[in-house]
Amino acid sequence: MNQYDVIIIGGGITGVGTARDCALRGLKVLLLARGDLTAGATGRNHGLLHSGARYAVTDRDSAAECIRENKILRRIAAHCVEPTGGLFITLPEDDLSYQDNFIKCCIDAGIKAEAIDPKEALKMEPSVNPALIGAVKVPDASVDPFRLATANALDAKLHGAVILTYHEVVSFIKDKNWIVGVQARDTRTGKTEKYYAPLTVNAAGIWGQNIAGMAGCQIKMLPAKGSLLIFGHRVNNMVINRCRKPANADILVPGDVVCVIGTTSDKVPMEECDDIRVTGDEVQLLLKEGCLLSPSLAHTRILRAYAGVRPLVASDDDPTGRKTSRGIVLLDHDRRDGIPGFISITGGKLTSYRLMGEMATDLVCDKLGRRSRCRTAELPLPGSEKELFDSAKGLRIAEKAAIGRQGTMVSKMDFSHKSEILCECEHVTRAEIAYAAKYLDVHNMMDLRRRTRVGMGTCQGSFCMKKVAAALARELGCPERTEEFIREYIEERWKGMAPVCWGESLCEAEYMRKLYADKKE
């Protein structure tokens, strides 16, 4: 009982990507996530599938890695990727001579980069700053990190993996200095349980530092907070970048019906990583720089602000965290620290998650003496097995939306009985909620939001949260928790709204308070 081949710690994209790879190679996998899947940096970034162009000048290896993975993900995760293309624009205040070297470096790294006439760029992307004096087209794309992680977790489960969310590792079980298992606490029930495996993989992102410490070795992470703003409209169709040395707030990424400007980069203490909030200064900076990429952002409602912490592995004391290599770090703690049975996979980025999983799984298989080839670059993720949009003709918008989010898994949804739309902004039906509750490890409204986009639209849940909470509670068999679901959910929405509460957002906030605030009487 509770015996596995490998235990993976971390419910981010690296953890689920590694779990999928291990499961596909026939290993008996347990994944433990402290909270929900994608609750850390995976759910708090741009949603940018890098072409690698951003790193071409400063970090050729990362750039080459990005373009290879970019091409793979377009294939295996088609339902998570929108092939928008990207522009790197030069503004009058930038040095146009940067562009030539940029293109040369891109091509050198295998990235198709092509200078285009600024007028042409304006035609391709009408929202771009018309003052631009140079433009380069690159194969950037938009990726839904929630969807991508969900599909990886689902495929891992379909291949026998066990995924336990809300399970926090509290200690390692050692036999002499061998790590032979972990003790994890179910944070919802408080119960502690032991799980055994000859190998444990630390894929806990920034929190991997604490996990390593618990195991008795040291990884020095350099937590770099990145703040972003999400707008209520999609002003751009292509990813817009500044063609200059990477700096603050110089990428605007479209995604679904919204767009996201980011990011900032500031060193934060490890202790703050669990509850980071966006400051007023960051909002100002993001808006100012964002308007230089696309001036119409000045008149677009900001839905919310959020921040993530990049899992950078410290290599020097650079306070911006930008000089640190974005490269993948795979640590064999047996060799490095004399702790057999324990490895760490960290660093890297969303775009390279699959490769991180492959590298970690190669080492796992090597350690376990298993010979098995990695197939994650070939096998499509559940949802991306085939293109469904052709057969979607005649379907209702809500069903098409569900296909967009869940791909071929829509076949598991009961549209004939549960067709009513509960979240109108994102067209989420009761059928999709029921599906998520049954198959996607959903325990509360935030989990559901990450799986289905419920409440992510312009109303931020104001109109739908009661209906959705009631439906979810019913599907989970706990109708008495409806009120609790609503309270938790509002508090979480408020956190993102508070830093940008003016204009339309303040109107929305006032309305939300009128509907849901606890009355004093």
Partner 1 sequence: MKFDVIIIGGGLAGCTAGVALQEAGLRCAIVAEGLSLHECPREKFIELGGTIFPGDRVTGGHIVGRKVKWVETRNLDGTLLEADNFILATGKFFSRGLISNMNEIYEPVFGCDVKYDKNPAKWVSQSFNDSQPFEKFGVITDAVGQVSIQGNTVENLYAAGEILCGERDIVSSALDVAAQIVGR
Count residues near partner 1 (CB under 8 A): 27
Least distance (Å) from partner 1 to the CB of residue 520? 9
Q: Is position 513 an interface residue for partner 1 (rule: CB under 8 A)?
A: yes
Give the sign of the dihedral formed by CA 235, CA 237, CA 239, CA 241. negative
Stretch of 129-137, 352-360, 413-421, 501-509 lying at the interface with partner 1 (CB under 8 A)? 501-509
Which one of residues 124, 214, 217, 498 is an interface residue with partner 1 (CB under 8 A)? 498
Question: Nearer Cβ to partner 1, position 238 or 456?
Answer: 456
Stretch of 167-175, 415-423, 441-449, 500-508 lying at the interface with partner 1 (CB under 8 A)? 500-508
The DSSP output letter for 128 is S
Q: Is position 483 an interface residue for partner 1 (rule: CB under 8 A)?
A: no
Q: Is position 414 an interface residue for partner 1 (rule: CB under 8 A)?
A: no
Least distance (Å) from partner 1 to the CB of residue 504? 9
C-alpha 344, offset from chain centre:
20
What is the distance between the alpha carbons of residues 250 and 237, in angstroms, rounded to a whole number?
16
Both tokens of 53, joined, read 């162009």
Query: Residue by residue, what is the 3-state secondary structure of 380-438?
Result: CCCCCCCCCHHHHCCCCHHHHHHHHHHHHHHHHCCCCCCCCEEECCCCEEHHHHHHHHH
Q: Are 301 and 231 in contact (CB under 8 A)?
A: yes
Site string for partner 1, 56-95 (x = CB under 8 A): ----------------------------------------
- Alpha-carbon distances of 100 from 107, 112, 113, 239, rounded to whole Å: 11, 14, 10, 20
Q: Is position 503 an interface residue for partner 1 (rule: CB under 8 A)?
A: yes
Identity of the residue numbered 86: G
Q: Is position 501 an interface residue for partner 1 (rule: CB under 8 A)?
A: yes
Least distance (Å) from partner 1 to the CB of residue 458? 14
Site string for partner 1, 434-473 (x = CB under 8 A): ----------------------------------------
Q: Which of 286, 38, 293 is nearest to 143 (CA)?
A: 38
Residue-by-residue DSSP string for 175-233:
ETTEEEEEEEEETTT--EEEEE-SEEEE--GGGHHHHHHHHT----B--EEEEEEEESS
Subset of 249-278 contacting partner 1 (CB under 8 A): 277
Question: Nearer Cβ to partner 1, position 286 or 374?
Answer: 286
Site string for partner 1, 275-304 (x = CB under 8 A): --x--x--xx--x-----------------
Which one of residues 44, 341, 490, 496 is an interface residue with partner 1 (CB under 8 A)? 490
Both tokens of 98, joined, read 């940067």
Least distance (Å) from partner 1 to the CB of residue 493? 8
- Partners of 195 in beta bridges: 182
Residue-by-residue DSSP string for 260-287:
EEE---EE--GGGGGS----HHHHHHHH
Q: Is position 123 an interface residue for partner 1 (rule: CB under 8 A)?
A: no
4-21 as b/e: b if 16+ CB within 10 A: bbbbbbbbbbbbbbbbbb
Least distance (Å) from partner 1 to the CB of residue 490? 5
Question: Nearer Cβ to partner 1, position 9 or 490?
Answer: 490
Least distance (Å) from partner 1 to the CB of residue 507? 5
Least distance (Å) from partner 1 to the CB of residue 518? 5
Phi-psi region of 369 (alpha: psi -120 to 50; beta: other; left: phi over 0): left
Q: Is position 514 an interface residue for partner 1 (rule: CB under 8 A)?
A: yes
Least distance (Å) from partner 1 to the CB of residue 262? 18
| Residues 6+ positions from 496 with CB-CB distance below 8 Å | 230, 303, 304, 305, 306
Question: Nearer Cβ to partner 1, position 186 or 492?
Answer: 492
Q: Is position 495 an interface residue for partner 1 (rule: CB under 8 A)?
A: yes
Least distance (Å) from partner 1 to the CB of residue 136? 32
Binding site for partner 1 (CB under 8 A): 277, 280, 283-284, 287, 490-491, 493-495, 497-498, 501-503, 506-514, 516-518
